[in-house]
């Protein structure tokens, strides 16, 4: 039972740890990237130090090469002049310089290999850092967008739908009112024209619009005569 409780406590603690990490993923990621930037800066400084050591060894190699050439030349001159003692002393110094030259060469080779490795590691680290920084920017932009979406009050979309329906009904009524007004205007214009024609006919301008009793009686007499 005790083991079960211990396992349960550990499980709950792990779940709480994951929940906290998920809820604070962006701040954690920002700090991790700051730590990575700091580590890369340290790697750059370490590379600079190794490069400086390598340059110092290369300068030593040039110095040793110059000394060897000078001593060898002088040793040969000493032999030419029968100064075996000086030539022997020069040979001893040359042997010491050659040993130093070989040690320096090995040091340079070691430094060059380390510099190449550090450069490659630094290049890969910088590439990964840039990718993570782009990912962080995208995550921050996404979070801002989600927060903006979350600020839209509940029911806003429904209100917009209702407002659009109200506007559509208003436009429909306005269109109907405009059509009615146009029809009334047409009717009014027609009525005005008819009234004007009647007044003009009554004044003897043109044929009469309505048949009067005298005209009807004259028409009947004409039919009687024909019959």
- Per-residue pLDDT tens for 153-174? 656 566 777 777 777 777 777 7
d(CA 138, CA 100): 56
40 pLDDT above the threshold of 60: yes
Percent of the chain with pLDDT over 70: 63
Contacts of 119 (CB under 8 A, 6+ apart): 47
d(CA 140, CA 165): 37
Contacts of 206 (CB under 8 A, 6+ apart): 200
Q: Report yes or no: 115 and 51 within 8 Å, Cβ to Cβ.
A: yes
Contacts of 65 (CB under 8 A, 6+ apart): 101
pTM: 0.54
Taking only Cα atoms into account, the Rg of the chain, rounded to an integer number of angstroms, comes to 55
Contacts 24+ apart (CB under 8 A), 135-139: 136/26, 136/29, 136/30, 136/33, 139/25, 139/26, 139/29
CATH 1.10.287 residue ranges of the chain are: 2-151
- Per-residue pLDDT tens for 178-194? 766 666 555 555 555 56
The domain 2-151 is placed in CATH, from the list 3.50.50, 1.10.3470, 3.90.320, 1.10.287, at 1.10.287
Task: Lowest mean pLDDT of 39-53, 56-70, 212-226, name the range.
Answer: 212-226
140-152 exposure pattern, b = at least 16 Cβ within 10 A, e = fewer? eeeeeeeeeeeee
Which pLDDT does position 138 carry in this prediction? 85
The Cα-based distances of 107 to 49, 53, 100, 150, 187 in angstroms read 14, 9, 10, 63, 112
């Amino acid at each position: 039972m005790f083991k079960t409780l211990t396992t349960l406590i550990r499980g709950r603690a792990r779940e709480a740890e994951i929940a906290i990490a998920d809820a604070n993923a962006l701040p954690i990621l920002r700090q991790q990237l700051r730590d990575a930037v700091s580590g890369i800066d340290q790697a750059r400084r370490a590379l600079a130090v190794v490069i400086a050591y390598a340059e110092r060894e290369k300068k030593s190699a040039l110095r040793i090469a110059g000394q060897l050439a000078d001593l060898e030349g002088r040793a040969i001159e000493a032999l030419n002049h029968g100064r075996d003692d000086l030539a022997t002393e020069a040979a001893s110094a040359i042997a010491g310089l050659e040993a130093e030259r070989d040690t320096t060469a090995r040091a340079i080779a070691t430094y060059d290999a380390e510099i190449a490795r550090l450069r490659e590691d630094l290049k890969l680290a910088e590439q990964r850092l840039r990718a993570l920084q782009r990912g962080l920017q995208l995550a921050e932009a996404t979070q801002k967008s989600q927060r903006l979406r979350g600020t839209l009050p509940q029911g806003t979309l429904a209100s917009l739908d209702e407002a659009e329906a109200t506007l559509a009904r208003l436009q429909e009524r306005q269109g109907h009112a405009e059509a009615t007004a146009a029809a009334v205007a047409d009717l009014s214009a027609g009525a005005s024209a008819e009234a004007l024609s009647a007044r003009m006919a009554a004044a003897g301008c043109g044929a009469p619009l309505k048949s009067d009793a005298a005209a009807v009686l004259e028409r009947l007499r004409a039919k009687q005569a024909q019959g």
